[in-house]
Every structure is written in structure tokens, then in C-alpha cells.
A and B are shown apart, each in its own frame.
Chain A
């Protein structure tokens, strides 16, 4: 049995594929569920008559499709299953991904996380966020235009000196020594390269963090904070332990006092548009995000008070369900792929975040 398993698994993985062209044609010409009207079929016919399709291999998917309308109408797997009398062999239809990964040579390999049968599969995305589309169609172009630096022919951008200094001197210990660090500190700032179409800054992720002071005495505060953060972000909140005891605050090591949500992709875009379009306009007497915000590598921060968090539509609809005075404020960190704060601020200004005060880069 074991031997048989090895052979099938081996063959499955090392079988020669049908050829990329065949696969591509299958991907392109598949009919999807929503293709109700004749539009898609027209597309199919047009593309199948085109030059590109003629180069592909012969397949039942190209031209004619093979399936008749009645076959399409009759196809209903749920009804077939309901009317089936015999049981299907369980080994084939009740696949379970292995619980542990036992190395690349093990015959029983878990499927990829993108496969719905995998244990690590997480569904999504569920939509194409408006902010993401606007970024690709409007913001990115405009950013590139704004950040362009013109050098007329014959002029080159000035060369910066080496960031790491050599050891100069007579000492024999300077020989073959690694370069000295920068002046005034041991960290090198990120290098900003000229903005081209390849490196237009974009939103990468958002971290929403709240440290709940009330949780020192009563854990209910932490639970409410977690629920509120989950409601406004749409992702599972993660609680964090305190790393050290601080006697002055009454904090012991290992207490759970803070909650973070890490947002990426679709969730991030939805969250940012919610903050910018719904919450920020409703905050009373708010001047904007402070211009000095940022860590000089393209990550900007701002805070929302408990009253501001209550303005999120998800909290507003059932505000009464949250215990009074337990809704927490939070810190929001927006990670962008910009290399300095000026670019990050420009990007967020495009998105619609207002800044005030002295802009520090």
C-alpha cells in the first residue's frame, strides 16, 4: 500500500504537463457562472477567430465548445447527489489535508495554502476596493508626475558620497576593517531613489493598536477593546503581553494589556477609506494629522480617541451593545513603501488625509 502511495504521488508530481499553451487556453476560454447573456460567448468567438487563438493547440474549449445547451441546463451536481442511491468511495471524495508537514520527500504532501482544501486556506479577497482602483488609475500617475525631477541632457543628478566611511589613518588595525558607520548614529536611513513607474509609493499595511489601561484591574476592558477593534477593522485582534513590570503603573510582566490588528490588502483599503471618508469628517475640532508624524522611513502614525472610534459605522449601529465608557481609543500606523516621510505624506494627502503644523521630513 505504502509503495503504491509513493508511486502515485511521485507520478503526480513528475508527470509531464499538458503544455503551457493548452493550460493557458483553458484558463482564457472557460465559461464562468455569471456569463448569462451572449456577451461572453461573443467574446469567445471573436477571440477564437483571432490570430492568437489559431496558434493554440486544438482543444474542445476552442471553437464550438462541444457542450450543447441541454447539457448545460441539465448540469446540477446537487440534484445529482440527491438522487444518487449508492455511496461514493470516501477515500476519493472526503480528502483531508495532512495535519503536519513532514518534509518535502514525504509522499503525502499538504496542498498549497491557496487551495480551499488546505488547512491554512483563508478565503478572500471578496471585492475590489474603490481606493485600490483609484490608486492605480489616478494617484500613482499623479505621484509620478509630481515626484519627477528633470535633468536636461548633459546634466546628471549629483552623486552622493559613500554612506559608510572608510577608516583613515596609519594604524595597522584599520587594515581590512569593515567600513565605519554613519556620523551621529549607528543606523543608516533608507535610501530614497528617484521615483519611476517601478517604485511609486503605495500603501502596504495598516496596524491598529490600542493599549487598554483599564485592563490592569479588569480584563473586561480588554475583551471590549478586542471586539471594538475587530468590528472596525474586520480582522482578528491579537492580544499582547506586557514585557516588563512597571511598578509605577501597577503593571506586572505577562499581563495582557494591548490589542493589535494588522491589516493588509483588501481589509486595509476598506479601513483607510472608512477612516478618511466617514470618520475623519465627523471628528469635532480636529485639525488633521500632525505634520511631524512619521518615523522618517515612510510610516506615518495618528491617534483616534475613544469618541472618534465610536464614530466608525460598525460601532455606531450598535453602540448600545458596548458597555459604557469601555470603547478604547487607538493608534493607527500606516505603512507605505515610500522611503521617506515626505513621499508618504504626499501619498496620504492624495488619499485624503489632512496634515497640519510643521511638516518634518
Chain B
């Protein structure tokens, strides 16, 4: 049994009054109650003769009158507020090439497109389909000009430097197709060299001209780069849409940390995290604390113990002496232990103008930017709980 377990056992076994502000509520609750007994374990436990509980021995000890301040660590809750990625990530060059190759292989192996099912003979849709399919030689619209059934069907790999697999070009081809144009400009089809003028006599051109008159404007997808990306606005939530962004604040000492505060009274880490988000970054955020358990912790020991007074927090009715308005108890603190609670932001924006902790600024940063902003000791505690993307 390691030391940590021993000490926890001792706390549990003492069965006395567990100090409130040194241990989180759920742990205190679990430790101060007997573990649940189930039918299977109860039978086994009944056979062993349990030693007399240690309470009886402890009752003989006269209660110590604690005059000196209590000694403890400062217990902090720290919500790690993140905005999950909103966009898919950029594909690697290998993935782009692989997907294009697989699509071309699929064209080679799939059954031909059943035009008769989708277009009735002689309808404008049918005419348009035939015109477009003639230009691109295949049913798929995003694999470039490629004839899977022809003599050169084997030539399904694009050459080095070919841009067909780039997502912008594929989007472009799809939009051109939706607008009624061919996916490629004046591509010579087979032997016939058809320019704009060469096909004037063709019946299909009338259709194409009508399309021109209608001016079908297909909405283009929004760009992946936003204004905030270009300006590198670290306070904006619309920056780096394909990454997770984390909220960091600059505290009184001028260090970048996740927002943090003491746990007061009987509140648990989840409630503390919710309160800290409100007190540090305002109410203009729709947030959600994921789960009741911390995702990480950071421990720090002070060079010299600090004598601090536990004041009340106005949002926590159970905090020490909150109701009576008297001075809180004194405590000698050796260091601090911050527990990180995972949180997500759905809407809104942080606002540190009215915060109660003396924060001066905030930033929304991706993981590698967090590393640059925080101290190395803090980074080593938080690095493993931040998502790569």
C-alpha cells in the first residue's frame, strides 16, 4: 500500500470531522460513509472477525484544542473551457492522393451509371447529362477528366503535381457542374475540337445558352480561413476553426493560466467550475461542464507557507461564515493543488471586464500556443489533458 492510500485510509478511519476546504465534496462523502456491502461480499466479510473499530480507542483521547492555524494545501478548481473543432481537418497530401485514386478505381469497377432511371429519354435533364458526361467522360464529377472504360482506363494515377485531388478544385468542379457548365474549360473531347463557336449548330448549345441566361448562381462554401485567422485575433472564437481552442486568462501575477479559484464551503468541483467561469469571464457564455470529475491536476508547493484567511464567497451560501459575516478561519497553506474540470463553450464570448479575480486579459489558444503562453511546470501538468486537434 502506498503512502497516499495510507493517509486516505487514516482520514477515513478517524471518522472524525473531515476538514471542509481541503478535500472535495464527493471524496469526503465517499470516505466518510462505509463502502457499500453487497450480498456476495457481505457473506465473505461475515466470516472474518472484524477488529474492534478504532473509534472506541480514539474516544479516550481528549479532544485537542486547536489554537494554531490549520495546515493544509490550497484547493483550487480550474475549468478548462474549450471550443471543439468546428471544421474537418485539412487532409494530408497522402490522403488526398489516396482518395482520388480510390475514386478512380471505383469508377473502373462500378456498374455504369443507369441514366434511364434518373433521366427520361429526350428530357432537358437527359440532354444536359449527355453533354456533361461527354466532356468529363465519366459519371463522377470530382475526379477530373478520366475515362474508366476506355483504352486508357489503366492510367488511373494522376501525375506528380496534378491538382485534381485538391479540395478547392473538387468543389470548383462540383459548382461548375451545378451551374450547368462542364467541369473543364474547352477540353478537346476525343478527336473533335469543340470550342465555344464550333458547336453552335449543336442542339445542346441552345440548352446551354438558356442556362447562361438564367445565370444559376450556386452558393460557394464558406472559406476555411476567417478574418480572425488572417488577423490572428487570439480573442476571437472564429479563429482556427479546425482546432480545439482553450480559454486562458492572465491573472494578477501576470501569468497565463486557466481560470481558477478556491473551492468554498460545501460546493463540489463541478459547481465550483461553473461559478468560476461566471465570476471570471462573465455570464455571456453558454457553457457545459463535462462530467463531475477533474481531468487533470496541478500541484505547486510554495517556498514558504502562506498564512491566509478563508473569506466567504457571495455565490456560495455554505462558504465559511458567509451568512454570519464574520472573519473566516486562518490557515497555513503549504502550496496549492488545482483540479482541472473539462468544460465546453457552445455560444457567447468571454468578458473579463467585470471579473472578481483581477484578470486583465483572456485568449483562446490552440494546444501548441498554450505551451508558449504558460510556464513549463504548468504545461507539464496540463499537456496531457489537452486534445491534439
> Which residues of chain A have a CB within 8 Å of any CB of chain B?
31-36, 40, 72, 75-78, 81, 116, 121-128, 130, 133-134, 137-138, 141-142, 145-146, 148, 150-155, 158-162, 227, 318, 321
- Interface pairs (30), CB distance under 8 Å: A31-B160, A33-B157, A33-B158, A33-B162, A34-B97, A34-B100, A34-B166, A36-B166, A72-B161, A75-B160, A78-B152, A81-B152, A116-B105, A123-B105, A123-B106, A126-B99, A126-B102, A126-B103, A128-B91, A128-B95, A130-B88, A138-B85, A146-B291, A148-B291, A150-B27, A153-B2, A153-B4, A154-B12, A158-B41, A321-B117
Measured CA separation A139–B166 after assembly (Å): 28
Contacts of A146 in B (CB 8 A): 290-291
Contact A160 B38 (CB under 8 A): yes
Q: Nearest Cβ in chain B — how far from A27, in angstroms?
A: 10
Q: Nearest Cβ in chain A — how far from B222, in angstroms?
A: 15
Q: What 0/1 pattern do residues 239 to 279 of B give for CB contact below 8 A with A?
A: 00000100000000000000000000000000000000000
Contacts of B244 in A (CB 8 A): 137-138
Contact A123 B88 (CB under 8 A): no
Contact A36 B291 (CB under 8 A): no
Contacts of B377 in A (CB 8 A): none
Q: Nearest Cβ in chain A — how far from B166, in angstroms?
A: 6
Contact A33 B97 (CB under 8 A): yes
Given A128-B91, A153-B4, A145–B35 Cβ distance below 8 Å? Answer: no
A37 to chain B: closest residue by CB: B161
Measured CA separation A77–B159 after assembly (Å): 9
Contact B109 A121 (CB under 8 A): yes
Contact B85 A142 (CB under 8 A): no
Contact A158 B35 (CB under 8 A): yes
B110 to chain A: closest residue by CB: A123
Known contacts A34-B93, A124-B102, A151-B30; 13 additional CB pairs below 8 A are A31-B160, A33-B100, A33-B161, A40-B93, A72-B161, A122-B109, A137-B389, A138-B84, A150-B30, A152-B31, A155-B35, A160-B40, A161-B38
Contacts of B40 in A (CB 8 A): 159-162
> How many A-B contacts are there with CB distance less than 8 Å?
132
Measured CA separation A151–B85 after assembly (Å): 32
Given A152-B31, A154-B5, A318–B118 Cβ distance below 8 Å? Answer: yes
Contact A155 B30 (CB under 8 A): yes
Measured CA separation A122–B152 after assembly (Å): 21
Q: Nearest Cβ in chain B — how far from A28, in angstroms?
A: 10
Contact A153 B8 (CB under 8 A): yes
Q: Is B314's CB within 8 Å of the partner chain A?
A: no
Q: Is B132's CB within 8 Å of the partner chain A?
A: no
Q: For chain B residues 61-103, which have a beta carbon within 8 Å of chain A?
A: 84-85, 88-89, 91, 93-97, 99-100, 102-103
Q: Residue A154 contacts which of B9, B89, B99, B159 (CB distance < 8 angstroms)?
A: B9
Contact A137 B387 (CB under 8 A): yes
Contact B159 A128 (CB under 8 A): no
Contact B5 A153 (CB under 8 A): yes
Contact B8 A152 (CB under 8 A): yes
Contacts of B31 in A (CB 8 A): 152, 154-155
Measured CA separation A138–B387 after assembly (Å): 8
Given A33-B157, A34-B93, A127–B99 Cβ distance below 8 Å? Answer: yes
Contact B118 A78 (CB under 8 A): no
Q: Residue A32 contacts which of B93, B103, B166 (CB distance < 8 angstroms)?
A: B93
Measured CA separation A36–B35 after assembly (Å): 64
Measured CA separation A72–B166 after assembly (Å): 20
Contacts of A227 in B (CB 8 A): 117
Q: Nearest Cβ in chain A — how far from B323, in angstroms?
A: 30
Contacts of A318 in B (CB 8 A): 118
Q: For chain B residues 136-175, which have a beta carbon within 8 Å of chain A?
A: 152, 155, 157-163, 165-166
Contacts of B105 in A (CB 8 A): 116, 121, 123
Measured CA separation A75–B158 after assembly (Å): 11
Q: What 0/1 pattern do residues 323 to 360 of B give for CB contact below 8 A with A?
A: 00000000000000000001010000000000000000
Contact B38 A158 (CB under 8 A): yes
A318 to chain B: closest residue by CB: B118
Contacts of B8 in A (CB 8 A): 152-154
Q: Nearest Cβ in chain B — how far from A275, in angstroms?
A: 19
Measured CA separation A292–B317 after assembly (Å): 40
Contact A150 B163 (CB under 8 A): no
Contacts of A160 in B (CB 8 A): 38, 40
Q: What 0/1 pattern do residues 282 to 303 of B give for CB contact below 8 A with A?
A: 0000000011010100000000
Q: Residue A321 contacts which of B118, B161, B293, B389 (CB distance < 8 angstroms)?
A: B118
Contact A145 B293 (CB under 8 A): yes
Pick the 8 closest A-B CB pairs, nearest first: A161-B40, A145-B291, A123-B106, A32-B97, A123-B105, A153-B5, A78-B155, A154-B8
Contacts of B215 in A (CB 8 A): none
Measured CA separation A170–B24 after assembly (Å): 52
Contact A133 B89 (CB under 8 A): yes
Measured CA separation A286–B270 after assembly (Å): 34
Measured CA separation A244–B93 after assembly (Å): 54
A136 to chain B: closest residue by CB: B389
Identify which of A35, A75, A130, A154 gathers the most chain B CB atoms within 10 Å of its CB.
A154
Measured CA separation A116–B152 after assembly (Å): 17
Measured CA separation A145–B118 after assembly (Å): 48
B6 to chain A: closest residue by CB: A154
B291 to chain A: closest residue by CB: A145
Contact A145 B295 (CB under 8 A): yes
Q: Nearest Cβ in chain B — how far from A302, in angstroms?
A: 25
Measured CA separation A128–B162 after assembly (Å): 21
Measured CA separation A40–B161 after assembly (Å): 11
